[in-house]
Amino acid sequence: MDGNGRWAQMRGWPRLVGHRKGAERVKQIVRAAPDLGINWLTLYAFSTENWKRSTEEVLGLMAIFARYIQREADAIAGDGVRMRFIGDRSRLDPKLQRLMSGIEAKTAHLTRLNLTVAINYGGRDEILRAIRALACEAAEGRFDPRALTEAAFTARLDTGALPDPDLVIRTSGETRTSNFLPWQAAYSEYEFTETLWPDFQIEELRAILTRFSNRERRFGAVLS
Ligand code: IPE
Ligand code: MG
């Protein structure tokens, strides 16, 4: 979800206005996702690199996350959405951490949509934390390093319970992946759109999904 800041600045408004508009867009897309055939949706809300922004913007974003969880909790559960978070939570405000685990527990039985929000997420950081966990288990004799398989490693990532993404969409014209699910997206399809996130409409998502469904995915094999 990129382009909130530019969306606001183009109008001469503070960047946080763009983030609030972006959160409204999230609500719409989440509500529409199941009917578009999406069962797993992962949103990149805050990266491990986003701490470099001004204190005002960082705190404003954190407040938006907390408010979203508080205000949307009932609607999310009512819509059958299971909400999860990935990323390193330890650096987040304890109150936000409690809201996050609260809604995860409240929606753990729901299946209509699996919504994952990446907060303080970075792919390299996630991989390092998984390796650190494995190394500690090995050092304590609870894990045989020779038994390390792709499955054993994948299970220790934050996304352990999630399938790999089929499609990754980035808005706002940037054609980088910026540390988003680098391990998991190795075979994902990518779509880049010039649209800024606050302007990203359901119609555009529908068009992207149609294009995606016409792509041939070979996963390295040769299809006859
Ligand atoms: C939203 O867009 C991404 C978040 C970190 C929430 P940006 O804030 O990166 O917007 P631009 O790139 O400055 O336009
Ligand atoms: Mg940006």
Domain at 80, CATH number: 3.40.1180.10
Q: Quick check: is 73 in a domain? A: yes
Q: Quick check: is 145 in a domain? A: no
Q: Is the distance from the beta carbon of residue 198 to the nearest atom of ligand 1 less than 6 Å?
A: no
Q: pLDDT (tens digit, 9 = 90+) per residue, 130-186?
A: 999 999 999 999 999 999 999 999 999 999 999 999 999 999 999 999 999 999 999
Block residue for tokens 């808005």: 171
Q: Quick check: is 224 in a domain? A: no
**The pLDDT value given to residue 199:** 98
Q: Quick check: is 181 in a domain? A: yes
Closest ligand relative to 50 C-alpha: 1
Q: pLDDT (tens digit, 9 = 90+) per residue, 15-62?
A: 999 999 999 999 999 999 999 999 999 999 999 999 999 999 999 999
Mean pLDDT, range 68-86, rounded to an integer: 98
Number of domains the chain contains: 1
Q: Quick check: is 21 in a domain? A: yes
Please give the model's pTM, rounded to 2 decimal places: 0.96
Q: d(Cα 153, Cα 71) in Å, to the nearest integer?
A: 36
The chain-wide mean pLDDT, for the chain, equals 97
Q: Quick check: is 141 in a domain? A: no
For 201, the domain range is 4-121+160-213
List the catalytic residues: 2, 50
Q: Is the distance from the beta carbon of residue 3 to the nearest atom of ligand 1 less than 6 Å?
A: yes
> What is the CB neighbour count within 10 angstroms for residue 111?
10
pLDDT tier at 13, thresholds 50, 70, 90: very high
Q: Quick check: is 195 in a domain? A: yes
Q: Quick check: is 43 in a domain? A: yes
Q: d(Cα 15, Cα 11) in Å, to the nearest integer?
A: 10
> 175 CA distance to ligand 2 centroid (A)?
11
Residue nearest atom 12 in ligand 1 by C-alpha distance: 3
Q: d(Cα 27, Cα 106) in Å, to the nearest integer?
A: 18
CB 143 within 8 A of CB 134: yes
Q: Is the distance from the beta carbon of residue 158 to the nearest atom of ligand 1 less than 6 Å?
A: no
